[in-house]
Amino acid sequence: MPTGSLCWPSEVPPLDELLVRHRDGLLRYLEGRGRGLLAYESAEDLAQGVHERALASEDFEHRGEAEFVTWLRVIADRHVADRHDYWSAHKRGCGKILRLTLSGVRATDATPIPAEQQTGPATFAERREALSRIARAMAVLPERDQQLIRWRCEDVALDEQARRLGLGYDAAQRAGVRALERLRRAFALLSQGG
């Protein structure tokens, strides 16, 4: 039997080669399954996460191309569900965070919040987009800044925030102001980028 670089049908291709081979199909699958996530992450980012999970998986056993695609889609579905949960957690309370972010900001600096009393498709779409941007802006902040902003929205007293952080009252106040300013800048950048 000849040896060398020939690949015999009985040989199992390495997992990384299979992932590369099926990447385009995975991207199409994720574009369909992850539609709600594409406002926050690209299909490429989702595919990267699926690949990381697949490579870390210990239950891979190649049984053929069709079985591999099914196995990969199961991993993709889990990843999409986890990312959806992640972004849903970030969006909770974003209405109050959005109002806090835009308070004190000149109308020319950011898109105003759609009036809550108004209804209609354009108002709802504008509000959804603003909530999406504020969730993305929150996600790029350091964890401490995110926590400070959440505490402010939950009306946690400043002296309690200082105690939780192990800071003095004035230091906690300055940290909160800086966190809010970083959130406003991130939101403004995302608003400019559309």
The pTM score is: 0.49
Spatial neighbors of 38 by CB under 8 A, at least 6 apart, are 31
Q: Is 60 helix (H, G, I), strand (E, B) or coil?
A: coil
Cα(123)–Cα(8) distance, integer angstroms:
60
Closest by CA position to 181, among listed 112, 100, 107, 108: 100
Cα(88)–Cα(76) distance, integer angstroms:
18
Distances, alpha carbon 10 to alpha carbons 5, 60, 84, 106, 108, in Å: 14, 17, 39, 68, 66
- The pLDDT value given to residue 144: 92
pLDDT above 50 for 4 = no
pLDDT digits over 118-171, tens only?
Answer: 444 555 566 667 777 878 888 888 999 988 988 887 888 989 999 999 999 999
Mean pLDDT score, 160-185: 91
Spatial neighbors of 187 by CB under 8 A, at least 6 apart, are 101, 102, 110, 133, 134, 137
Distances, alpha carbon 122 to alpha carbons 94, 98, 128, 133, 169, in Å: 19, 18, 10, 17, 43
Closest by CA position to 97, among listed 5, 192, 9, 187: 187
Half-sphere exposure of 147 (CA within 13 A, CB side): 11
pLDDT digits over 21-52, tens only?
Answer: 999 999 999 998 887 777 777 888 889 999 99
Closest by CA position to 34, among listed 75, 84, 68, 71: 84
